[in-house]
Amino acid sequence: MTIPPPGNQSPQYQAPQYQPPQYQQPYYLQQVPSSSNGLAIASMIVGVVGLLFAIWAWIPFVGFVFGVLGLLCGVPAVIIGHFGLNRSKVPGISGRGQAITGLITGYVTIAMSIGFPLLVSLFLFGIGSVAGGSPYYS
């Protein structure tokens, strides 16, 4: 048996040095409570109430009153809705969906409050002029 020379020794196996895994603590983000947007809520409520008035604006003679009430609710709903939408862009203030709902119901209320009485009056006066024998129609 021959002994290998001192500089030519076979390497000894060494186990790799493992470090135990270091776990981080999970981050718990504290949620900041978002403040509600009173303008957006008011716009939505006034728009829905105006929409209820505007639905009844098609009644021939009483519809004029409901049309005016619808306009008195629709115009403020649109104005307040725009203010509420701008306010919802501030971080920490919610209510964007409510402001958009107020805007949509406000615009629909205005259209219905003007459109229904206008169509009913055109229909009634149109039939009355044709049935009454207007001198312009022979």
0.85 exceeded by the pTM?
Answer: no
Is 115 inside any structural domain? yes
Is 111 inside any structural domain? yes
pLDDT in tens, 2-53: 665 666 566 677 777 777 777 777 777 776 667 889 999 999 999 999 999 9
Domain tally, the chain = 1
Is 7 inside any structural domain? no
Is 3 inside any structural domain? no
DSSP 29-87: PPPPPPBP-HHHHHHHHHHHHHHHHHHGGGSTTTHHHHHHHHHHHHHHHHHHHHHHHHH
What average pLDDT does the segment 102-108 reach?
Answer: 96
Is 117 inside any structural domain? yes
Is 18 inside any structural domain? no
Please give the Cα distance from 98 to 38 (Å, whole number). Answer: 10
Domain that holds residue 120: 59-126
Is 83 inside any structural domain? yes
pLDDT in tens, 72-104: 999 999 999 999 999 999 888 889 999 999 999
